[in-house]
Structure 1
Amino acid sequence: MPNTKKTKIVATLGPATSNKDIIRDMINAGVDVFRINFSHADYDDVKERIAMIRELNEELGIFTAILADLQGPKLRVGVMGGEVVVSPGDEIVFETGEPFEGDAERVYMNYQNFPRDVNPGERVLLDDGKLIFEILETDHKKKVKARVVQGGPLKSKKGVNLPNTNISLPALTEKDVKDALFAIGQQVDWIALSFVRYSQDLIDLQNLIRENSEHKIPIVAKIEKPEAVQNIDKIVSYCDGLMVARGDLGVEIPAQEVPLIQKKLVLRAKKARIPVIIATQMMETMITSLTPTRAEVNDVANSVMDGADAVMLSGETSVGNYPVQVIEKMSSILHSVEGSDLIKVPQEPPHIRTKRYITKSVCYHAALMANEIKAKAISTLTNSGYTAFQISAWRPSAHILVFTSNKRILTQLNLLWGVKAFYYDRFVSTDETIEDVNAIACKKGFLDVGDMLISLAAMPIKAKGMVNTLRVTEIETCSF
């Protein structure tokens, strides 16, 4: 039987995963998508890893995807001279301009507009919220004076969050444009944009992709700012997937509010029928330990039960000691919970009559019918991948088998919950095509004699139009 895990695993590449054998073992253990974190990426290294992944796809006959994750406007303090510890009540000056070595009285800030954007009374959070400062005054040019509210060691190059400040920096920085152009040149499958706040952030990246690529590269909007949560309806209209990036989100928003926001965002993605990835600190203890905590196991399981398409590992696979074992452990959690009746996803039928209304409706009824007649699989022929997104979002218990002659989308679809994609380019008559597809599904171990199959197709087949036909077949022979 093939690997039947339906929830996808996204694993971050890094020093711990630089070797082809380890990447192969990770794929075999259950990785569906590899993430390249452009906050720490060397272009030559990235090219090498991408080549390895594509070679393994060829060797293993699979379609592992590549997600390029842009850094976004990451604010940081500069290098500190020696060990600096600040205490509550201390005053410190944040300064922009030319970089300098910081001390307990003044520290460099890499964000040049910082003095112009902030106001007295606002908070500055450092090192994932471990240090908290309150702004006392700004000269609106170079210097900002702040008081320490929560102290501790002030370390070099730590990230800065401004939860109350409306920052003027665009989500797509100069570095991101350069990284995006490199990623487009490497023909990655997905691009994630960090610190998205408004729909315009996504439109800018879409335009960049359109101008520099003949193929569409879908965009994942990373939700890690309060403004993104408020603007989620508009953001969803301009992206192809969401990532609940709980690291920065849990610093910008009180941590206790994140669980309900996670549920809200997953539900919003399901209604929009786009995939959603849950990320950050999922199996953090497995960076150095062979065993996750009970709470981490629960967190991964609950993300699946909320309806996540994918769960993501960061440090666990990029710098951790056990990159293969963490994937095995995560796969076993996914297998154990994803078939549960306790998982409920929104089942409302499509009602807005767009030009794709017929296709949406056919996909919706295919998912419902598959559950009703206990079909083993739903197969669909697609050129754009649209039907795969639709069927996946309704979470049928059947396998979702997608057949396409468009090689570009084979790997893209690997992020979608429950979707297995296959290359197929013999679009002849409906009967012959469906027979072919059934034979492939049998050969791959998804179907057996007596199983029910729902086949979706666009008639006429050769036109490769929108899906308009649903056909139910009982498998009588599994010859191939």
Structure 2
Amino acid sequence: MPSRKKTKIVATLGPATSKKETLKAMIEAGVDVFRINFSHASYDDVTERINMIRELNEELEVNTSILADLQGPKLRVGVMGGEAVVVPGDEVTFATGEPFEGTAQRVYMNYQNFPQDVKPGERILLDDGKLIFEVKSTNGKDEVKATVIQGGPLKSKKGVNLPNTSISLPALTKKDIKDAIYAIEHQVDWIALSFVRHSQDLIDLQELVNKHSDHKIPIVAKIEKPEAVDNIDKIVAYCDGLMVARGDLGVEVPAQEVPLIQKKLVLQAKKARIPVIIATQMMETMITSLTPTRAEVNDVANSVMDGADAVMLSGETSVGNYPVQVIEKMASILTSVENSSLIKVPQNPPHIRTKRYITKSVCYHAALMANEIQAKAISTLTNSGYTAFQISAWRPSAHILVFTSNKRILTQLNLLWGVKAFYYDRFVSTDETIEDVNRIACKKGFLDVGDMLISLAAMPIKDKGMVNTLRVSEIETCSF
């Protein structure tokens, strides 16, 4: 019987996952999506990993997805010239221009507009908020003077957050544009955009994708800034998925506000019927330990119970000592909680009568009916993947089996909760096609004799139009 796990696992690639055998073991343990973090990636390494993943997909007959995560306007300090420690009350100058080795008194900042954008009284947070400074003055050109509020060691190339400052950098930096074009050329399945603030950030990336690709590549908006939380209604209208990036979000807003923001974002994604990924520090202890803390287990379980489509591992799989074991542990947590009756799905049936209203309505009622008649699976034929997004959002207890002749979307759909996609290109008559689909579902172990199945299709089938037909059948034979 195939894995019952419906919540998807996203694992970040890195030095710990450089061998094909490791990637294979991770896929077998439950990885559904591999994330490429372009903050720390060389193109040669990435090309090698992409090729390995695609070879493994062929060998294992799976559809592991590839998510390219763009760095975005990540602000960093420069290289430090040695041990530098600051204490509260110290004055530090942040300078732009030509890079230099930093000291405890003077630090290089890679963000050239920094002196123009910050104002006295605003906070500068360094190294995930471990160090806090307050801006005293700026010359508006190349220097900002700040006082240390919370001290500690100043380390090289650490990230900078400016929670009170409206920064003038675009979400798509020159590096991101270069990385995005590389990712598009290598036909990745999803692209994540970091530090999204407005819907325009997503429109800019979509235009770049359209310019360089004949195929749609869905975009994940990473929510890690207070502006993004404020603009979430407009953001969900222009993206295909959300990521709750709790690392930077927990630095930019008070940490105690993050749990409720997480719940709000998951709800927004469910209403928009787009997938949502929960990320950062999920199993952090397992970077160096074989056992997660009880709090981490709870965190993963609660994210699923909030309604997350996917949970993500960062350092645990990119640099951790136990990249395979952490997947096994996470998969066991997901399997134990995701079928709980405590998980509530927002029941807001489609009501806006757009041209896709019929498809949305058929998908909604298929999910409801599957639960009522305890159907084992819902099968759907799709060319764009649209029905898979719709059915997945309603969280039916049945397996969601998607059949498509469009090879590009086979791997894209692997991020969606509960969805298993299969390649199928014999679009003949409705009856024959549904018989074929049932045969494949039986062969893969999703159906057995006596099981109920709901089949969705567009009639006439050869036109590959929008879904307009729902058919219920009982499996009478599973011979193939």
Q: Normalization by structure 1: what TM-score?
A: 1.00
Q: Distance in 2 between matches of 1:57 and 1:82?
A: 46
Number of the residue aligned with 2:274: 274
* Pairing 1:230-245 to 2, within 5 Å after superposition: 230-245=230-245
Structure 2: which amino acid aligns with 1:432? E
Number of the residue aligned with 2:40: 40
Structure 2: which amino acid aligns with 1:379? S
Give the match's secondary structure for 1:93: strand
Number of the residue aligned with 2:6: 6
* 1:80 Cα deviation from its structure 2 partner: 1.0
Number of the residue aligned with 2:55: 55
1:379-436 deviations in whole A, cap 9, x for unaligned? 0000000000000000000000000000000000000000000000000000000000
Number of the residue aligned with 2:144: 144
Number of the residue aligned with 1:196: 196
Give the match's secondary structure for 2:214: coil
Number of the residue aligned with 2:368: 368
* Pairing 1:54-453 to 2, within 5 Å after superposition: 54-453=54-453
Q: How many residues align?
A: 480
Give the match's secondary structure for 2:110: coil
Give the match's secondary structure for 1:238: coil
Give the match's secondary structure for 1:302: helix
Q: Distance in 1 between matches of 2:255 and 2:119?
A: 24
Q: Distance in 2 between matches of 1:408 and 1:156?
A: 41
Structure 1: which amino acid aligns with 2:234? K
Q: Distance in 1 between matches of 2:216 and 2:437?
A: 26
* 1:110 Cα deviation from its structure 2 partner: 0.3
* 1:105 Cα deviation from its structure 2 partner: 1.1
* 1:479 Cα deviation from its structure 2 partner: 1.1
Q: Distance in 2 between matches of 1:208 and 1:263?
A: 31
* 1:347 Cα deviation from its structure 2 partner: 1.2
Give the match's secondary structure for 1:269: helix
Q: Normalization by structure 2: what TM-score?
A: 1.00
1:242-264 deviations in whole A, cap 9, x for unaligned? 00000000000000000000000
* 1:4 Cα deviation from its structure 2 partner: 1.6
Give the match's secondary structure for 1:31: coil
1:183-238 deviations in whole A, cap 9, x for unaligned? 00100000000000000000000000000001000000000000000000000000
Q: Distance in 2 between matches of 1:290 and 1:211?
A: 46
Instruction: Please say which of residues 244-253 and 98-107 is displaced more in the overlay.
Output: 98-107
* 1:75 Cα deviation from its structure 2 partner: 0.2
* 1:140 Cα deviation from its structure 2 partner: 0.6
Q: Distance in 2 between matches of 1:93 and 1:423?
A: 59
Give the match's secondary structure for 1:134: strand
| Sequence identity (%) | 87
* Pairing 1:26-37 to 2, within 5 Å after superposition: 26-37=26-37
Q: Distance in 1 between matches of 2:68 and 2:105?
A: 38
Q: Distance in 2 between matches of 1:104 and 1:403?
A: 60
1:310-336 deviations in whole A, cap 9, x for unaligned? 000000000000000000000000000
Q: Distance in 2 between matches of 1:319 and 1:106?
A: 31
* 1:104 Cα deviation from its structure 2 partner: 1.4
* Pairing 1:469-480 to 2, within 5 Å after superposition: 469-480=469-480
1:329-360 deviations in whole A, cap 9, x for unaligned? 00000000000000001011001111100000
Structure 2: which amino acid aligns with 1:207? E
Q: Distance in 1 between matches of 2:104 and 2:367?
A: 61
Number of the residue aligned with 2:463: 463
Displaced runs of 4 or more, over 4 A? none
* 1:81 Cα deviation from its structure 2 partner: 1.1
Q: Distance in 2 between matches of 1:137 and 1:63?
A: 54
Q: Distance in 2 between matches of 1:264 and 1:203?
A: 23
Q: Distance in 2 between matches of 1:419 and 1:186?
A: 24
CA RMSD of aligned residues (A): 0.4
Give unmatched runs, 5+ long, in structure 2.
none
Q: Distance in 2 between matches of 1:15 and 1:80?
A: 24
Q: Distance in 2 between matches of 1:451 and 1:295?
A: 39
* 1:34 Cα deviation from its structure 2 partner: 0.2
* 1:5 Cα deviation from its structure 2 partner: 0.5
Structure 2: which amino acid aligns with 1:404? T
Q: Distance in 2 between matches of 1:277 and 1:404?
A: 24
Q: Distance in 1 between matches of 2:4 and 2:68?
A: 26
Give the match's secondary structure for 2:237: helix
Q: Distance in 2 between matches of 1:22 and 1:109?
A: 38
Q: Distance in 2 between matches of 1:49 and 1:455?
A: 37
* 1:370 Cα deviation from its structure 2 partner: 0.3
